[in-house]
Amino acid sequence: MKVTPMAKLTDAQRQERALNRARKAALEAEERDRRREEQRRRSREETRLSQEELQAGVLCPGCGEPINDQLGNWPPPAQMSEEEQRQRDEADARYRERHDQCDSPVRWSTAGSRAEHCLYCCPPPPLNPQAARALLQLISAHEEAQNRGSAAGSHT
């Protein structure tokens, strides 16, 4: 085997090696980025629940409440029994405790369920177009209720 001593490298050869090293480093960095992005994508998909899991009553990975507790929507406040009002207040207190620092502008819940979730902590539920419309209605209804609440509060 013929060994070429390092000292005999020409400037051109040295430059080429340096270039190859730089190219290799760039490729490796690209590959690292790609892998990191892939991991991020996968973790997003894993926290997002499938429609089947939703039906099976799994708990929200964000807050631990059921995504759909099957309890049915709350009746309108005027029609709530004392017991239901008490439960509503408890649920509200639980939500506030869990999401004390979140500052989420709205809460969301799935149709037919009383469990409330945060926009920030809780991964969004899987949506079919119907469910998406229902969710948007819920959000706007909740915003309206909140606006009414603050209007009533300032009206002293």
Among 49, 54, 91, 122, binds Zn ion (CB under 5 A): 122
Choices 11-19, 62-70, 87-95, 132-140; region in contact with Zn ion by CB under 5 A:
62-70
Choices 21-29, 73-81, 91-99, 128-136; region in contact with Zn ion by CB under 5 A:
91-99
54 is a contact residue toward Zn ion (CB under 5 A): no
CA 64 – CA 94 distance, rounded (Å)? 11
Choices 9-17, 34-42, 73-81, 117-125; region in contact with Zn ion by CB under 5 A:
117-125
If you ran DSSP here, which 8-state letter would residue 156 be given?
A: -
CA 66 – CA 105 distance, rounded (Å)? 21
CA 152 – CA 156 distance, rounded (Å)? 8
Q: Which residue has the tokens 């892998």?
A: 35
The encoded tokens of residue 141 equal 């209804």
Measured from the Cβ of residue 99, the count of other Cβ atoms closer than 10 Å reads 20
Nearer to Zn ion by C-beta: 121 or 127? 121
117 is a contact residue toward Zn ion (CB under 5 A): yes
Among 58, 59, 102, 134, binds Zn ion (CB under 5 A): 102
Measured from the Cβ of residue 113, the count of other Cβ atoms closer than 10 Å reads 20
Which parts of this chain interact with Zn ion (CB under 5 A)? Answer: 60, 62-63, 99, 102, 117-118, 120-122
